[in-house]
Structure 1
Amino acid sequence: MELRQITDKIFVSPQVAPEDLAALKAEGFTALICNRPDAENPEALQAAAFETAAEAAGLEFVYNPMGAAGLSMDMIDEQADAIEGSSGKILAYCASGTRSAVLSAFALAGTMARDDILDAIATAGYPMPHLGPQIDHVASTRADG
């Protein structure tokens, strides 16, 4: 496993395997967020199978895929709700971790300063300074909503 820390609570990674789940639980993780669409995975790694394995390991599981259709506020809200609703550390994963880093960055909009979010994802290995205006927009949208 290649865990990359965004905040004290949020970690992202490339695809994890069912055999990694017991170790994640032992390391204090309480939830997984799958940001990878089922169409990209073999059946054993698709959401239904992974949810069963996660729950058997004592982990909550949230399926919030970000595919070719792009990003929506509903996805951002789903990511934020999963993060806020978890009592411990969360691992969000996709193929490389990039989509999970993007969704987590937007989920943090309005709760952290934009530059702190950008620094956190860059430190985790996902430098995306071009997201700054979008993070500001999401934060503004949330403040107005």
Structure 2
Amino acid sequence: MTTTPFRTLDDTFTAAGQIQPSDVTEAAAAGYALVINNRPEGEDPGQPTGAEIEAAAQAAGLSYVAIPVDHSGMRRDQVDAMKAALEAATGPVLAFCRSGTRSTFLWAFARAELGDAPADLVAKADAQGYNVRPLFG
């Protein structure tokens, strides 16, 4: 059983707070194809390293991408990397950070650039407790 709630925004994307290597096994069993790590190394004491999550993803047959975002804000290269990862994904994506908010913001920016209506993105995020309205206002 997952130690972190997975919040499914749509059939292609789920956000989560910090996951553990055991959560990756569960994600693979649930049909996810890609894990995106939006958490910088060492943000909190005791958080698993990116290498540990990546090794768990590889062992479970999942792809892994690291796009760390710290609290200074998001940059163009991070949005571009998220967009590329979403486009390349061969199935549902599980992205995580401390709470799932940075992952959801990156997803919303990327999906908007890929043509999704901001109102639809706001509604999907709202349904899972994330507020992306400020991104589009």
Fold match (TM-score > 0.5)? yes
State the secondary structure of the residue aligned to 2:64.
strand
Deviation at 1:43, TM superposition (A): 6.8
Cα distance in 2 between the residues matched to 1:44 and 1:14: 11
Instruction: Report the equivalent of 2:120.
Output: 116
Q: 5+ unaligned residues in a row in structure 1: which ranges?
A: 134-145
Q: Deviations over 1:35-76 (max 9, x none)?
A: 010021457611122211210111111000110331111100
The alignment of Structure 1 onto Structure 2 pairs a total of residues equal to: 133
Q: 5+ unaligned residues in a row in structure 2: which ranges?
A: none
Instruction: Report the equivalent of 1:57.
Output: 60
Instruction: Report the equivalent of 1:141.
Output: none
Question: Matches of residues 1-145 of structure 1 in structure 2 within 5 Å?
Answer: 1-42=4-45, 45-110=48-113, 111-133=115-137
Cα distance in 1 between the residues matched to 2:57 and 2:92: 14
Identity in percent: 35
Of 87-96 and 68-77, more deviation after overlay is shown by 68-77
Evaluate the alpha carbon distance shift between residue 42 and residue 48 of structure 1 in structure 2; reply closer, same or farther with a 3 A threshold.
farther
Cα distance in 2 between the residues matched to 1:25 and 1:85: 17
The two structures have a TM-score, normalised by structure 1, of: 0.85
Note the aligned Cα RMSD (angstroms). 1.4
Q: Deviations over 1:69-111 (max 9, x none)?
A: 3111110011111111111110000010111110110010132
Moved segments of 4+, more than 3 Å? 41-44
Which residue identity does 2:94 align to in structure 1?
L
Which residue identity does 2:16 align to in structure 1?
S
Cα distance in 1 between the residues matched to 2:39 and 2:50: 9
CA contact (8 A) 2:24 2:53 kept: no
Q: Which has the larger radius of gyration?
A: 1
Cα distance in 1 between the residues matched to 2:20 and 2:108: 24
State the secondary structure of the residue aligned to 1:126.
coil
Cα distance in 2 between the residues matched to 1:132 and 1:123: 17
